[in-house]
Amino acid sequence: MLFLLKRDVFLYSWSLLFLFIVLPLLAMFQPETGILALVIGFAIHLFYYDGKSSVNRYIVSLPIKKSTVIRGRYLFILIITIVLMSVQWFVHFLFVYTNSIIEPYLFQWQDMVILLSISLILFALAIPMYYLFRSFMVVVTVQFVIFGVGAMAFSNLLLESKFGDSMGFYIDNKTMFLASWLENTITIQPYMLVSVGAFVCYFLSMKLSEWILIRKVS
């Protein structure tokens, strides 16, 4: 599995460098939207590059267990997600404590927990599709429809939870939604429950992807 992680780091090193350059610019936008868009966009880029370069065909042909291939990819996405969120927290921290022109929101641990949890849940839903369908465009189209409708419905829910029926609200780079919504929705240990649930979903998604890949190559 270490070999697969090193391979991913080597293949996507330039993409990761670009992301780290872009991260400071996200401080100007609504924080949760910026991070989730960046993380999800990077995951889509991974599978697009894999399909374009036929990397998976080469990896599957190696004397490596198919389950190890899947686990390596899931672990890589988890590590990169945590790294990107940590770097973004540090960028916001620098902006806040250096009196910069940009004055972003300083992330709290609650924000990072729920952002990581939502990212894992989205990945849990999305990743198996890349192994189920052969066409990358089919996967992206299906995801665009499903997640697009889901995002609009969830956005309306968050707006209503934070602003009620008010039509004069204002959203900037300090406006946060998820933590307050979660605390209002789940009153008993909300962060523990959502994090455990997210990791369980991520694990089950990994097992589903393993099953799909094994059936395809067998």
Per-residue pLDDT at 168: 55
Angle 184-26-161 (CA atoms, 0-180°, nearest 5)?
20
pTM for the model stands at 0.81
pLDDT tops 70 at residue 166: no
Domain positions in the chain are 2-217
Query: Radius of gyration (Cα) for the chain, nearest Å?
Result: 19
Per-residue pLDDT at 3: 67
The predicted-structure confidence for 4-58, as pLDDT tens digits, reads as follows 677 677 767 777 777 777 766 766 666 777 777 777 777 777 777 666 555 556 5
Per-residue pLDDT at 193: 93
**Of 36-40, 49-53, 106-110, 187-191, which range is least confident?**
49-53
Per-residue pLDDT at 207: 94
CB neighbour list of residue 92: distance below 8 Å, 6 or more residues apart: 27, 31, 104, 105, 106, 107
Per-residue pLDDT at 54: 57
Q: Report how far apart the first and last C-alpha atoms of the chain are (Å, whole number).
A: 21
CB-based contacts of 214-217 (< 8 A; 24+ apart in sequence): 214/66, 214/67, 216/131, 217/60, 217/66
More confident residue, 117 or 160: 117
